[in-house]
Structure 1
Amino acid sequence: MLEVLLLNPYFLLAIAIASEVFGSSMLKASSGFKRFLPSVCVVIGMGVAFYCLSLSLKVIPLGTAYAIWSGIGTALTATVGVLVYKEKFDLKRASGLLLIIAGVVVLKLSGGVAH
């Protein structure tokens, strides 16, 4: 069961997204790579993200995978910024995030399986 889950390209894409959000969030905590542990977390998070993204691209078309990865990653990273780092959240930011998510949905609906 676990092996089947780990081979699912959308599960790998989800891991890539979560890892990218973690790595991006740690960028702020690293203070420009001046703090060791958050800096290590950035490298690990981004490394796992790109590795899992590359594995998911064996099945998912590049445009679809990248749109999902970057769109959901952007929305989740912005959410972390608001919740963890107390960044401002207003109507413009909410509208932008909704447009990103809508774009991801449209690309996903128009995408197929790579040949």
Structure 2
Amino acid sequence: MGWLLLCCAIVLELSGTVSMKLSESFTRVIPSVLMFIFYGASFTLLNYALKYMEVSTVYAIWSGVGIVLITLAGYLFFQERLSVSSLLWIGVIVVGVIGLNISNNGH
């Protein structure tokens, strides 16, 4: 159940961040309102996920996967540039999240 809640929280966080970009600094009402709704729902599900999982694992996965997904969304939908060094550092984040998850499962 914890993983399902965490995955839903990640999708909602991604939706909130995309809405933030689309809100154009709060000049567009609907994306601005959606941003608050998505982030609120994301934090709520993140809170419920903590009932089943350790906080370090939940937060590392939520933020790490969120970084990767929003980077891909920025590239695909907003024509944002991805440099080789950016991809390298995102890879480091992914390796760190995997490493943290492996080390927590071993305890």
Question: What is the rounded CA distance, in whole Å, between the counterparts of 1:47 and 1:111 in structure 2?
Answer: 28
Question: What is the rounded CA distance, in whole Å, between the counterparts of 2:93 and 2:41 in structure 1?
Answer: 23
Instruction: Give, as a single letter, the amino acid of the residue that structure 2 aligns with 1:47.
Output: G
Instruction: Give, as a single letter, the amino acid of the residue that structure 2 aligns with 1:32.
Output: S
**Corresponding residue of 2:84:** 91
Instruction: Give, as a single letter, the amino acid of the residue that structure 2 aligns with 1:17.
Output: I
Aligned 1:46-65 pairs, distance under 5 A = 46-65=39-58
Question: How much does 1:59 deviate?
Answer: 1.4
**Corresponding residue of 1:110:** 103
Question: What is the rounded CA distance, in whole Å, between the counterparts of 1:96 and 1:18 in structure 2?
Answer: 22
> In angstroms, what is the RMSD of aligned CA positions?
0.8
Residue 69 (str. 1) matches residue 62 (str. 2): yes
**Corresponding residue of 1:15:** 8
Q: Where does structure 1 differ by over 3 angstroms across 4 or more consecutive aligned residues?
A: none
Residue 45 (str. 1) matches residue 38 (str. 2): yes
TM-score after normalising by structure 2: 0.95
Question: What is the rounded CA distance, in whole Å, between the counterparts of 1:65 and 1:111 in structure 2?
Answer: 11
Structure 2 unaligned segments of length 5 or more: list them: none
Question: What is the rounded CA distance, in whole Å, between the counterparts of 1:92 and 1:24 in structure 2?
Answer: 23
TM-score after normalising by structure 1: 0.88
Structure 1 unaligned segments of length 5 or more: list them: 1-7
